[in-house]
């Protein structure tokens, strides 16, 4: 990270500043439950650098308890597989859960596919993208049995050329079959997306059945909480806050409040 004066900040400085910002935001907005960081070293490197990154991870986790959710590896999967860093991952995995990015590919039968298998076998809490998952029935069965959430990033997949028409996105099958899916936005800053609304809109309009309604949006929202890295107490609080707001939205909607606001404005 760097600021407008081009001052560079190392990971520990960045996390310290983010910690302060999050706590300041929580004080200002009491219904904000909080956030956590998935610490993700770049995969296109070597074991020594990954090992040093994990040492940094242990230091910041001790300094900011509960702020680190777990571990991922970022970057194009062809540039470094999970197995390449297996020894170090198994050591650090005794202390932190995994949230692996895996299966972001249009290829079939390539070594990248094994990243999904390795992510499952290493008990990843979620799998980022898993774009190739529907091509592998056995892996799909394992994902469902282990209740591993799939992070679906529609705009990212379209922008990066994995799918042109989102109606043909592999996640349409996952959604229709009741797989644990959460809607994410990957790298929103790269294409100017603010928040998740754009990805949610495209998921609802292009990747669900024509008769899908509020029940799908409700399920996806609940999934976001259920499969988050919040602890059980935080999840319970977040779900209560969300449920109260959802019920208020439904009540206002059925009472035509939004129609009145549109007419008034």
- The CA-based angle 247-250-251, given to 5 degrees, is 85
Of 79, 84, 95, 129, which is the active-site residue?
129
Distance CA 58, CA 186 (A): 25
Of 77, 79, 101, 104, which is the active-site residue?
104
* Angle of helix 47-63 versus helix 11-28 axis, rounded to 10: 40
- Residue 129 catalytic? yes
Residues facing 240 on adjacent strands: none
Helical segments of the chain, H only: 11-28, 47-63, 86-92, 113-121, 137-146, 154-159, 171-176, 197-206, 214-226, 232-254, 257-264
- The CA-based angle 246-248-250, given to 5 degrees, is 70
- What is the Rg, in whole angstroms, of the alpha carbon atoms belonging to the chain? 20
Distance CA 182, CA 179 (A): 10
- Residue 79 catalytic? no
Query: What phi, psi does 150 have (nearest 5°)?
Result: -105, 125
Would you name the residues annotated as active-site residues?
Answer: 104, 129
């Amino acid at each position: 990270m760097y600021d407008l004066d081009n001052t560079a900040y190392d990971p520990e400085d960045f996390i310290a500043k983010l910690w302060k910002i999050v706590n300041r935001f929580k004080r200002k907005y009491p219904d904000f439950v909080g956030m956590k960081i998935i610490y993700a070293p770049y995969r296109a490197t070597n074991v020594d650098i990954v090992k040093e990154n994990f040492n940094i991870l242990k230091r910041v986790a001790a300094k900011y308890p509960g702020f680190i959710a777990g571990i991922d590896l970022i970057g194009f999967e062809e540039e470094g597989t999970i197995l390449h860093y297996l020894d170090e991952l198994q050591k650090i995995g005794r202390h932190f859960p995994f949230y692996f990015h895996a299966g972001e590919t249009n290829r079939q039968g390539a070594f990248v596919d094994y990243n999904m298998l390795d992510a499952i076998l290493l008990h990843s809490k979620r799998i980022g993208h898993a774009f190739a998952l529907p091509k592998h029935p056995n892996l799909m069965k394992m994902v469902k049995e282990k209740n591993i959430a799939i992070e679906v990033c529609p705009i990212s997949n379209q922008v990066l050329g994995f799918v042109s028409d989102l109606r043909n996105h592999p996640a349409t099958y996952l959604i229709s079959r009741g797989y644990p899916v959460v809607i994410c936005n990957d790298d929103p800053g790269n294409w100017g997306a603010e928040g998740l609304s754009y990805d949610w809109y495209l998921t609802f309009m292009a990747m669900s059945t024509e008769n899908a309604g509020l029940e799908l949006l409700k399920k996806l929202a609940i999934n976001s909480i259920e499969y988050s890295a919040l602890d059980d107490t935080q999840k319970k609080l977040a779900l209560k806050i969300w449920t109260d707001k959802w019920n208020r939205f439904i009540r206002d909607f059925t009472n035509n409040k939004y129609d009145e606001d549109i007419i008034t404005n």
